[in-house]
Each structure stands twice: as C-alpha cells, then as structure tokens.
Structure 1
Amino acid sequence: CDFAISAAGATVVPIYQTNSPSECEWVAGNSEAVAVICEDAAQLAKILEVRDRLPHLRALVVMDPEGDTGEAIPLDDLRERGRGIEPARLEERWSAVGPDDPFTFIYTSGTTGPPKGCVLTHGNYRSVLDMCEGIGVLESGEVIYLYLPLAHSYALLIQLLTFDLGSTLAYFGGDTRQIVPELGEVKPTYLPSVPRVFEKIYTLAEPSIKEQMGEEKFRQMVQLGVKVRDLQVHGQEVPPELRQPFDQLDDQVFKNVRAIFGGRVRQAVTGAAPIAQDILEFFYACGVPVLEGYGMTETATVATYSTVEDHRFGTVGRALPGVECRIADDGELLIRGANIFSGYHRDAEKSFGAIEDGWLHTGDLATIDPDGYVSITGRKKDIIITAGGKNITPALIENDLKQSRWISQAVMHGDRRPYPVVLITLDPDEAAALAAEAAVEEADLATLSKDPRVRDVIAAVVAKVNAGYAQVEQVKKFAILDHDLSQETGELTPTLKVKRNVVNDKYSDIFDSLYA
C-alpha cells in the first residue's frame, strides 16, 4: 500500500503496530490524515476508539478480510475499485510528482516528548538511494532479512533499496523466538537490524565459548580473527603462523557463529542505538561483519556509513558522498546534504531550531578524526551532570552493563545528584540460567529481582564494569526491577531504545530510594 499511495502522489504516514489508541490519534490527527489503512480488527479498533476526534478522517480500510466489521472498506474491495481506473490517470498523477513534494511524514519515537512529524520529500529519499547505491551498500541479487518495524525510516530505506536494485526481501515473521530459525531458513546475505538483536545473539554464544577456552584465550581468539579478516578483506596473504590457528578456530568456533545467521551474511548493519565494540569485533572475527552507520529520521535514515572494506571499530563510519559533517563549538554533530528533511509538520518553531543555515542540529555529541570517521560520544540531552559538576555519558556504562547475559536493560540516573545510580532489568530469556547460577529455585523475574543471591551476581557484573571507569563515573548503587521494560508499557521505542524521561518519571521512587 505504501508505494501505491506514493505513486498516486499522496503522502504516506506510517503508524507503529505497537502504538496505543492515543498515540494513533496523535499521528493521524497531527498529520491530518484523510484515510487510515489498518492491518486487522485489532488495529482497526484503535482508530475506531478515537475516530470522533479525527475531523479530517474520511475513510478506513482494513487489510485482513476477517477484520471486516462493516465499519471499514476491505482492501480487496478497494483493489476492485482500482481496476476500473484508467492507467493513463495513474500515469498522469505519478508524472506530476516532483522532488520537493512530500513523500512521507515519519513521526519520531518521542523519547523526550510527543512525536514530531518529519516531512521527507521524494528528493530526500532519491538522494539517499543514489548515495547508498553509489558505494555499494546493497547489490542486485542480495537476500535481505528485515527485522525492523515497518513504520521506521530505516525499514523504509531498506525496502526502497531492495526494490530499486532488484534484490530479495524476507520479512520477520512476528515472533522474536523464531528469529534464529528464520535466519537459518532465509540465509540472508545482508542483515540490517538494531543492536539488541546482535547483543542477544552475542550473549547466547559468548558464555559457552568462554567456558570452553577461558577469558584470555577468548580475547586472543578475537584478536587473531580480526587480524586475519583484515588481511583477507584487503587482499593480502595470510602468513602460515596465522593461517593454521585461524583455520582451527574457524572449524571449531567461527563457522558455528556464522551458521546462526544462516551462513551467508556478507554484511550486517546496526544503528539507532550504541553497541559495544567488543561485540562488533567478535562477529567480525567470526566472519559476520556487523558494522555501524549513523543517521536519524531527519536525515532520511542515514548520513554516515561503514563498509567491510572501509570501517573503523568504535566509529559510525564516514559521511556518505554528498553529505557534510562538522562539529559545533559545543561538540554537537551538524549535518548538511540533500537528504536533510524539510522540517516538522505543523511545527515551525522546532523546525527552525533543528535546521540553521542548512545544517541539521542532530542533538548528538560527536568527534570526527582526521580521516573523517565519526564517533558518537553521547546525547546532549542525556548527559548527566552530578552535584559535583562531573559530566557523565550514561550510554557508555549502560552499554557495558548490557553485555552481561543476565541484564536486559540498564538506565543510569544521577543528574544534579551526588553520584550515579542504575536501574537494572533482568533478561527474561536468561531467567532459568540465572536462577541456576544463583542457586535460586524460582525462576520468575519477580522472585529473582528480590533474591540477595541474584543481587550478588549482578553486583559482580556492576563491579567489573565499574573497574573500567573513573571513580566519579562509577555506579554507586543499583536497583533491580521486577519486570523488563517494554514497548507496551511505554518505556521503549519501537527500535527498543529506552525512553529515558518516561523511566525516570515512572520509577522516581526507586531512584530516590537509592539516595536515601
């Protein structure tokens, strides 16, 4: 439906399946949508609940025939109507679309407030497609496994690239427990996803490998793998003293990790949130290059990119051809290019604040090295300034904590407080293993979160992470929540980023108790 709407010269406004009725109302109302297409009866019910408050809404369409309650037009009926339209009429409308016409309004996830509708033009996305195709991000004939919310700009770009190049797209089936089996079935060559997918696979693979060979040999294994892969990527000969141990590790370890991804991944790409460098190096050593890029909805998805041949771990790559990046006096990353959005729908004030003299103010703190590689160091609004005046970037410690197989989410708190503290959630998928590790009989999260033996296990993780930071940056106290954060409870965005303001407000009593 998306591309049919665009071809007809109209504007697509995606809504996440996980959005509540009130969130659907905000997006449909702010965008002044005249029609809403719903997947099934459950999604239709959300719109029906708020329809009286959507004065511009003229039509409802439901895709699933079983969702037809008589209050919406079945998609099959709409198709039937379309067959009566003269092809010349569609050609006329399609030909009238120009590069400056709106292609889509994509509403941001709203980690710090109500979602803002980013107005992206046909020209914005055409420029990004040309940039990506120019450096070979995707190639014709690729097989792509798409585990991304389809309302996200990242998913839109991947779909456009796939269709533009004539590749094959396999969509995630909807059950996160089936991701690994689906990867085995699809055998993708290109895998775009969010960090949480790669983190979860890493936490599944890493403990058993370390158990077999020990911490030091694991570290040496990754170092050797990275060294050999670098030589191979740049067409250099691998000396025998490296080749023999590498081949042995490849047979015993690396090929098994590749098999988790289907065995054919040429490149995997992660973005939308930070990911630990250790994870990237591990997968690269195994022959599954997971590389970082950077962008945001306001840049039509992407602004910097890494390739297998041109990457530097710890960075998000270099600016795409035609994109300029520079650092403002306060450390903020500024971006300029044909991919920059035209503003926020019906919000001139925020649009003016976001774009000044053609430069997009990203809100992210960054550095650019002499070779042009960009490193994201934090989020301006997320920086914690303790009562003692120390600036702390919470994402760094949070990310290190999440490398533990036991921890699902970690949220640091401490702005204008005497010291940093962290709210931790346990990984539901590891509950049984954690119970065994701590010698606890009950394996439910509520019981585990309160058990002192589990707390000792988590305290050891916190202590290990703390050892890598200056004393003023270290976590002084932590609390374990009795459930995980989720989209359904409004604590995570659809790309699984923490809504920091929501968590700080919702669990303020817990944070306060850590300073008592």
Structure 2
Amino acid sequence: MRQIAAPRLAPPLVSGGLADSVFSTALEDPRRPQFSLLRDDGPPQEVSSSRFRDEVMAVARGFLAYGVAAGDRVIVMSRTRYEWTLIAYALWTLGAEVVPVYPTSSAEQVRWILYDTDAVGVVVENEHNAMTVAAAYGARTDLTRLWELDSGGLDVLIEAGASVRDEDVHQLRASVAPWHTAVICYTSGTTGRPKGCIITHSNLASESDNLLVGWAPVLTPPGQQHSLLAFLPLAHCYGLMVVVSSVRGGINIAHQPDVSPSALLPALAAFQPTIMYAVPYIFERIFAKARVNAQDGGHTALFERAARTAIRYAASVQRHAAGEGPGPGPRMRLMHKVYDRLVYAKVRAVLGGRVRNAVSGGSPLSRDLGLFYQGCGITVYNGYGLTETAAAVTAQPLGAVRHGTVGKPLPGNAVYIADDGEIWVAGDVVFAGYLNNRKATEAVLRDGWFATGDLGHLDADGYVVITGRKKDIIITSAGKSVSPQTLEEELRAHPLISGCLVIGDNRPYVTALITLDPEALASWQVLKGRSLSAPAEAALDEELHGHIQRAVSRANSRVSRAESIRAFRILPHEFGATQGLLTPSLKVRRAAVMEAYAQDVEELYAAR
C-alpha cells in the first residue's frame, strides 16, 4: 500500500476567520465557561465566553489605536498563558498576523524573525524578553510598539483603545477571509536557520473542525463540557492548534506556563482536566516519576510486574480488536484488576484522576509506552504532523488504536509514500509556503503534495509507521544506512536513561551519547546503598555502567550487527533547552549536541 486518504467530515471555511467563533459562541451561550484562570490562593477563576469576547474586543481596540491593522504582523514572545491566547484572538479580529516566538529565543534568532517578518510590534512576557528584543533591534530606534505583559502591557492596550469604536473593529473582522494568513510559525528545527511557515485561518480551522467532528465522542461528548490544561508552548504549532480547536469546540481551557514535573504535575492534580495533549517526553517523564515513586516506597517489583501486565493486557486487547486473538484470559483480567487498584489508579491520579483519553504528538510515542497507558485506563492517541501541516495530519482512529503507529490520515487529509520511503501529505491543513523563501517552498510543495522529509511506510491496514527522518539517517564509512530512531527509543525506555543520541555518520561504526535521569539515578543509588553523586561521578560506578551496557545490548538486539552500538559514553548532564541542545518542543538538536560534545565523540572512536 502506497497511498491512503480520508474524506472531510467538516466543510472547509468559506468566509471569515478564526476570531468569528469567539463572537458566535458568546452570542449562542454567553455564560459558557471558556477559560479557567489558575490561582495559587484559591479555586480557578472562570472566564465565560461573553467575558472573553469583551476582553478580545478591548485588546483589539487597543491594537487598532496603536495603528495595528489588517495584514500587519505582531510578534508574541511569551510562555503559555491566558494573555497569549487573548492577544492572538484580538489580532485575528483585526485581520493582523500573529508571529509566535519562543521566550527562550536568543537575540540573534529574534533579530532574524524581526527582519524576515517586518513585524510592526512586539508583545513580550517580561523584562528579560524585552531586553532580548532590544538587543535584537540593536541601533534601530523605531521600536515604539512593545508591550510587556508583566508590566501592565494589556492595561496599556485597553486604555489606549477606550475611544475606538467597536464598529471599526467589526469592519476589519468582516474583511478577514479564510485564505488570509493567521500565523507565521517558525520551524524550531534541529539545524539551520528557521523558516517562517505561512499558516492560514483555513488551515487551522480545517484542522480543528475535522478533529472536533471526527473525535466528537472523545472531545465533545453530549451533555458535558471537557476541560484541558494547555501547557504546550503556543509558539509551537501543535500547542497553538490545541488551543484553537478547544476554543472552537467549547472546551474549558486553563493555561500552565511551566512544564517541569514539579510545576506541571501539581497543576494537573489541582485542575483535573478530562483530556490531555502532550509530547512523548511528558508521557515518558510521568512514567519515570511513577517508577521512582514506587522505588522510593519499596515497591519496585510490584510496579515492574504491574507495568508488564499493563503492556501485555493492552496488547492482547489490541490484537483482539484487530481480529487476531481471543483477548485477555481470565488470569490476566484478574491480575489487571488487582494492579488497577494498587498501581494504575495512582498513575491516573497523577494526571488529575479524570483523564481517560490523551493525545501525543511532536514525535512518535513508543509502542510499549502507549500500551502501558492503555493498560492503565488512559488511551493515548498517537498522532503525526508538522508545522507545515498546521499540526496533526494523521492520528489513531477512535476505537481502533494501534500502538507503534501514528494512525491514519485525519479527515480531509491524504498520505503517500514516495519511492524512497519519504512521507508526502496533502489536504486542507497544508501550509501556504515559507515566508520570503520561494526556493524552499518549491522544494517541498509538489503538485498538491507536501514532502515532509520523514521516512515511513503504510502497514497492510493503512496505518502510518514512522521509521526516521531523512536528514537524520546515518551513513557509516562502510556505506551502511542506519536510522537512529529505533535504538534511541529503546534506550530512553530504560528507567535510568533520560536521553540518547546515536552517532555514526562517516564513522566506521555506531556509538551513542547517553544521559541519566537525576531523580531515577538518586533513587537507584539509595537502593544500592551508594552515596548520592552526580551523573558525571556515578558514571564511574562499574555496576551502573553494567546496567547501561545491558540496556545497550537489548537495544542492539533489535537491529543488525552493522547498525548496533559498539561504544557509548554517559554524559555529565541531561540535554537541556536552555543550553540549546533541545528544541522548544523537546527534540534533540543533533548538530548542537555533536558540537557541544565533540571531544567526547572523538574519544569514543579513539578508544577503539
């Protein structure tokens, strides 16, 4: 099978833009809770659909008072928070274009985006971001439209717009068309200068509306309102799509700016969302945290047995659903029921206790991890997409989840596998091109298809399987092609390993750089009666090195001899976004890691 398509379930946007749904919802159901503002000193404060509409109008009037109008571009440089969403919809109301920028971006990155977009204004979160923007402007003196959220920037906008008529705003809103640009979303990329993807109102509306119709039993069940904790960065198209679809679908949204486990897990427990969108890293960390908690409580063996049972149970259910087996037997069902009370309920409690369906995107979720959550009573719908496709282009079908794949095309999309194994996609979600970069646009848009740069295949039932990224394929000096994804996923599943980068391009054999999870390492050291030490010192421990070696050997068993890891090095620190080694969507920047640890790599090969 080389090609598969799914018909639209929702009609494409024929008029208007994204902001129209804010006004229509407020008119139809003015008291409907649209947002929840989380507070440290009490329960969340509800923001109704009518209040949100009024605040959008107030901020839109303010932008208009400052001369921002249709077609203008405004940079938004902030973490995920309510004001981010409010500003985006205010700009879309005017027909202006949102340019999301990660708050961790450097002055050089901001300088490039300012130049490439010719932005007329910048909204920043805090003084640090403002200083970055100022450094990016350099000697220029025309930075007159900068609003800082933590210093009353919204109040400044609202006060400035007090004398602007609503009619002037509505007139601009009426002129917005589906094919107009809504967002210039820059690819975070693992190498090279980021490219600005032109995402239209129609792209995001098609993505959201088909998702809401196709997944209605999960996202919008009759008679109840779902709630969502939005913690993915809104500068990433995936995070932005989650919020846009939730607004269009009437899902109650709370924002959480900090995704560290110490902040995210308490927020999930307090808000108790009913559905969760995340990247594989989050699901991996939650699993690792549950395992560490079990170890600290002296229940390591219990947790490991429960995890294996969850995976086997879910795999048996999956095979049965595909007509390939009888399903779990009586003994397995009994064990699953016992472990549900002892272990699985605690895993669900970590997510707030009400999540039964979740979505993973950004990169493929490992099969075993998907099966583990399924066995715990949480169905994780793995999806696949890119910035250029306004986020997801495929996802697991409802009631037919097949872990280890990224599902089938979402309604309105098509997938084609090229001769070299590259995945091409088509549909209403495909972007309009790269800003100011015709050459790059022509290189990926081919007769209605977008060439993704990802490698994969379709299984016999039309499920998409991702096998790697074309630019990540390793070619050893012996001419052997190696896809690092299989090895890296297998090693990250080890309880002590938090990160892995497989190396071997133009080298005689494959090696790996490995990072340890500090919390899991500390727990292991306590269990072994070792004194607590940092990963750099712990790496000298022969027993620990033996554990990692066995993990490498298990990973090697999944590939050929020529593809196997011959040597590895444990690094002193985890890969971090602040060091520039991870993208904001938590993917490893391969080139940056290779540069940062060039000496370690050379020593790996010199030692052999």
TM-score by length of 2: 0.79
Q: 2:214 aligned to 108, 117, 135, which one? A: 135
How far apart are 1:364 and its partner, in Å? Answer: 0.2
d(CA) in 1 for partners of 2:379 and 2:259?
25
d(CA) in 2 for partners of 1:204 and 1:139?
30
- For 2:441, the equivalent position in structure 1 comes to 351
Give the AA of the match of 2:187: T
Give the AA of the match of 2:405: T
**Is the 1:440–1:453 Cα contact (8 Å) retained in structure 2?**
no
Q: Alignment partner of 1:334: what SS?
A: strand
d(CA) in 2 for partners of 1:119 and 1:278?
36
Structure 1 residue 3 and structure 2 residue 89: aligned?
Answer: yes
**Is the 1:33–1:57 Cα contact (8 Å) retained in structure 2?**
no
How far apart are 1:132 and its partner, in Å? Answer: 0.7
- For 2:234, the equivalent position in structure 1 comes to 150
- For 1:184, the equivalent position in structure 2 comes to 269
The Cα offsets for residues 381-409 of structure 1, whole Å up to 9 and x where unpaired, read as 10112122222110110111111121111
Within-5 A mapping of 1:102-113? 102-113=181-192
Q: Which runs of 5+ in 2 are unaligned?
A: 1-86
How far apart are 1:53 and its partner, in Å? Answer: 5.8
**Is the 2:230–2:256 Cα contact (8 Å) retained in structure 1?**
yes
Q: Which runs of 5+ in 1 are unaligned?
A: 67-73
Structure 1 residue 160 and structure 2 residue 244: aligned?
Answer: yes
Q: Alignment partner of 1:192: what SS?
A: strand
Aligned CA distance change for structure 1 residues 252 and 368 (closer, same or farther; 3 Å): same
- For 2:311, the equivalent position in structure 1 comes to 222
Within-5 A mapping of 1:64-463? 64-65=150-151, 74-136=153-215, 138-139=219-220, 141-174=225-258, 176=260, 177-206=262-291, 208=294, 211-213=300-302, 218-227=307-316, 243-436=333-526, 440-463=530-553
Q: Alignment partner of 1:293: what SS?
A: strand
Give the AA of the match of 1:108: T
d(CA) in 2 for partners of 1:352 and 1:35?
30
How far apart are 1:430 and its partner, in Å? Answer: 2.4
Give the AA of the match of 1:30: D
Aligned CA distance change for structure 1 residues 486 and 243 (closer, same or farther; 3 Å): closer
Q: Alignment partner of 1:376: what SS?
A: strand
d(CA) in 2 for partners of 1:482 and 1:171?
33
- The worse-fitting range, judged by mean Cα deviation, of 331-340 and 200-209 is 200-209
Q: 1:472 aligned to 562, 587, 594, which one? A: 562
Q: Which has the higher contact order (CA 8 A, sep 6+)?
A: 2
How far apart are 1:326 and its partner, in Å? Answer: 0.4
Q: Alignment partner of 1:411: what SS?
A: strand
d(CA) in 2 for partners of 1:331 and 1:237?
34
Q: CA RMSD, aligned part only?
A: 2.5
d(CA) in 2 for partners of 1:57 and 1:345?
22
TM-score by length of 1: 0.92
**Is the 2:103–2:129 Cα contact (8 Å) retained in structure 1?**
yes
The Cα offsets for residues 311-350 of structure 1, whole Å up to 9 and x where unpaired, read as 2111101101111110011100000111110111111110
The Cα offsets for residues 471-499 of structure 1, whole Å up to 9 and x where unpaired, read as 22211001111111111111100011001
**Is the 1:270–1:291 Cα contact (8 Å) retained in structure 2?**
yes
**Is the 2:231–2:259 Cα contact (8 Å) retained in structure 1?**
no
d(CA) in 2 for partners of 1:468 and 1:230?
22
How far apart are 1:468 and its partner, in Å? Answer: 3.0
Give the AA of the match of 1:205: A
- For 1:16, the equivalent position in structure 2 comes to 102
- The worse-fitting range, judged by mean Cα deviation, of 10-19 and 23-32 is 23-32
**Is the 1:34–1:56 Cα contact (8 Å) retained in structure 2?**
no
Give the AA of the match of 2:147: V
Aligned CA distance change for structure 1 residues 432 and 386 (closer, same or farther; 3 Å): same
d(CA) in 2 for partners of 1:29 and 1:15?
13
d(CA) in 1 for partners of 2:132 and 2:320?
54
Give the AA of the match of 1:223: R
**Is the 1:383–1:392 Cα contact (8 Å) retained in structure 2?**
yes
How far apart are 1:455 and its partner, in Å? Answer: 2.5
